[in-house]
């Protein structure tokens, strides 16, 4: 298994419970086929540019180990989740 880091920017207009629910959904997906090393909720931050009429976003950083095919599935789920403004998954050395 390889190590990855995922940064997710979530719609800041959601309530904390809804943000936590989304976070748990993504962590659950990773845990099915990998290991979550750490989850860092960075909170609301100002965006460099407007995304979907938002000037702020709620940042979550997830470090995990998984097989490469899980990354494709995770990115697919990020894309179809309306409250995810932006995301990136990078492989760590």
Structural domains of the chain, with CATH = 2-91 (3.30.70.60)
Q: From CA 59, how far away is CA 11, in angstroms rounded?
A: 9
Tell me how far the alpha carbon of residue 7 is from its chain's centroid: 5
pTM over 0.75: yes
| First and final C-alpha spacing in the chain | 12
In the structure, what pLDDT confidence band is assigned to residue 93 with cuts at 50, 70 and 90?
Answer: confident
In the structure, what pLDDT confidence band is assigned to residue 4 with cuts at 50, 70 and 90?
Answer: very high
Could you report the per-residue pLDDT of 55-80, keeping only the tens digit for each? 999 999 999 999 889 999 999 999 99
Question: Which helix (DSSP H) or strand (DSSP E) does residue 31 occupy?
Answer: helix 16-33
In the structure, what pLDDT confidence band is assigned to residue 46 with cuts at 50, 70 and 90?
Answer: very high
Mean pLDDT (whole number) for 31-41: 92
Nearest-10 crossing angle of helices 16-33, 68-80 = 150
Assign 42 to helix, strand or coil. Answer: strand
In the structure, what pLDDT confidence band is assigned to residue 33 with cuts at 50, 70 and 90?
Answer: confident
Mean pLDDT (whole number) for 44-48: 94
């Amino acid at each position: 298994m390889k190590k990855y880091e995922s940064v997710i920017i979530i719609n800041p207009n959601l309530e904390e419970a809804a943000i936590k629910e989304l976070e748990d959904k993504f962590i659950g997906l990773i845990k099915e086929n990998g290991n979550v090393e750490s989850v860092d909720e960075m909170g609301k931050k100002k965006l460099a540019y407007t995304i979907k009429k938002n000037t702020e976003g709620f940042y979550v950083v997830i470090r995990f180990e998984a097989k490469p095919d899980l990354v494709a599935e995770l990115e697919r789920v990020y894309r179809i989740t309306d409250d995810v403004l932006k995301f990136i998954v990078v492989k760590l050395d």
